[in-house]
A and B are shown apart, each in its own frame.
Chain A
């Protein structure tokens, strides 16, 4: 039996045109580059918004629309926050020791530090 497989070269085959690497010019300039936005998603009612990632958009409305398409395609959320990245202020990693290490030796801030007899019940 002769089996003939139809192969579609026309849609996906092309060496006839050169890629024209030499006439490449950048079309984006600093003026048209969209600002960066950080995306926060609430996965369901009652939970916090959590950072999911970032994207570029011309304005807040577009950032929300794009975030919908990029970060919530599989029911990941019921609410979105978008914040322009430049408005986020972060602590400096170099200060991490000074900022967070003082908490290390204060175990008395945790409930498990205290021994309470069993007969007291849940406390």
Chain B
């Protein structure tokens, strides 16, 4: 078959909602885009453990500590599902980890913001996980089979993350004056970065068109962002708190909430590595990898020794 025919057959499958599986023919750019997106998603799960891990030792009760540990453990699992999905496209795990550590691969910028108070754990669960869920629900229907399946598994686990965050904020919002202020302060700091999680405006985004055509993405950045805002405006009322945007207003004509301008200079600045915690996050990851090297080597040596013993027994 000619390349042109292969490409047409490929697009036909996508148009007919037939998933692409690892051994199927696919355009190089489709493979590359998926590797970039899936590995970036995986890195985000792994780096995302850091801001929350920060509060495990300082959780206010045993219950909250157990919840937080379970959540962080989930993130590790999600990272693994995603790395596995990316590996089916022929890129090795080592390569992906190296790309993260060298700064070549990105992860979600949201994790470059610090978690300064306990209320941040609630705000991260409600807003950051909430934003991530919208994206991941969409990705359950992405065209690459292994990536879609990984997201189905992730979504099953992720909804507990958002609910525990919201519940934790509800406790604070019914608490002392200090606890209420802490709750509002956390919402104020996490609101705008959460909106930035959906990426640049559609008019500025370079990857949107092709990714939509290939059904890697099924909704645009702006559509997902609007969906998130419309939901959060209702939810924040339950908390008795406010969102830090004076321009939030119901627009009868659009059937959506209008919102203020996002600070895109801040967004690009954090993407380029100048956020408050970029260096600390990357360093933590690299240290974990380097300091764990002896464990990986020991496990390999032990497996080899056992295999050799087995071989002698058989012989």
Question: Measuring CB to CB, which residues of chain A are less than 8 angstroms from any residue of chain B?
Answer: 1, 3-9, 11-15, 17-21, 24, 26-28, 31-34, 36, 53-56, 58-59, 62, 69-71, 73-74, 90, 92-93
Contact = CB atoms under 8 A, between A and B. Distances in A.
B99 to A, nearest CB: 11
Nearest to A14: B280
A62 B303 contact: yes
The 4 A-B pairs of least Cβ separation, nearest first, read: A14-B280, A59-B303, A58-B299, A58-B303
A31 B278 CA distance: 32
B314 interface: no
A33 B303 contact: no
Given A13-B114, A27-B293, A34 B299 contact: yes
B279 A58 contact: no
Contact of A7 (B101, B116, B276, B299): B116
Given A32-B300, A34-B299, A13 B23 contact: no
Interface string B55-80: 00010000000000010011001001
Nearest to B150: A53
Contacts, number: 120
B33 interface: no
Contacts of B115: 12
A93 B303 contact: no
Nearest to A27: B293
Interface stretch (B223-231, B246-254, B283-291): B283-291
Identify whether the interface residues of B are mostly helix, strand, loop, or mixed. Answer: helix
A27 B289 CA distance: 8
A32 to B, nearest CB: 5
Given A6-B117, A12-B51, A53-B81, A34 B300 contact: yes
B54 interface: yes
B315 interface: no
B98 A18 contact: no
B181 interface: yes
B84 A54 contact: yes
A36 B102 CA distance: 24
Contact of A55 (B58, B80, B102): B80
A7 B117 contact: yes
Nearest to A39: B84
A116 B101 CA distance: 68
A24 B84 contact: no
B276 A13 contact: yes
Contact of B74 (A1, A26, A73): A73
A15 B276 contact: yes
